Amino acid sequence: DPVYSDTVKHLFRRIPILMTIQRVSLFLLVEGWAAVWLTKGKLSQCFQMFIEGNMRAQLDNQASLTSRLIPNYNLGCKRVLLSDDFLPVFKNNTNCHLVTDDIEHVTANGIKTVKEELKLDMIVYATGFDIEGSICGFDTFGRNNTLLRDHFETQPCAYLGITVPTFPNF
């Protein structure tokens, strides 16, 4: 969410239509991005190259970082992180390290990877978004007392992504 200066807030109060213009502009920007992400033409490829170039610049083209932090899938295939301060954290930082080695186990002082044992103050568990866990994290019952997670084991589908058969009002 943008942080609005006192001047902008004052303008919004004095000229309320400016808020509407700003909201419509944001809407059109997001919808425009979605159109780029959903089409697989030249425009999408150009944006892909531009964004990857920007990511490489933020990482000072350090091959050890770019190979592990720049996704190998097309833009929009997964949730897009809209941030300009995430990638620079990893370059030349003595307090934060990117470790992508397989973990053998957690120790009392950190973790043991297949390559080394690391002493850590904190472990950030970030493996991606779990769609199943987000939908079925709580018991949801449909007709005939059927659990949604059980239904999704055999029929993981929803009409238009919103309506699930035998689960009225879900």
Q: 14 falls in which pLDDT band (50, 70, 90)?
A: very high
86 and 76 Cβ atoms separated by less than 8 Å: no
Q: 122 falls in which pLDDT band (50, 70, 90)?
A: confident
Average pLDDT estimate for 89-107: 85
The per-residue pLDDT for 52 is 92
The per-residue pLDDT for 156 is 75
The pLDDT of residue 13 is above 90: yes
Longest Cα–Cα distance in the chain: 62
The pLDDT of residue 129 is above 70: no
54 and 15 Cβ atoms separated by less than 8 Å: no
Average pLDDT estimate for 15-29: 93
How far CA 107 is from CA of 95, 98, 101, 120, in Å, comes to 20, 18, 15, 10
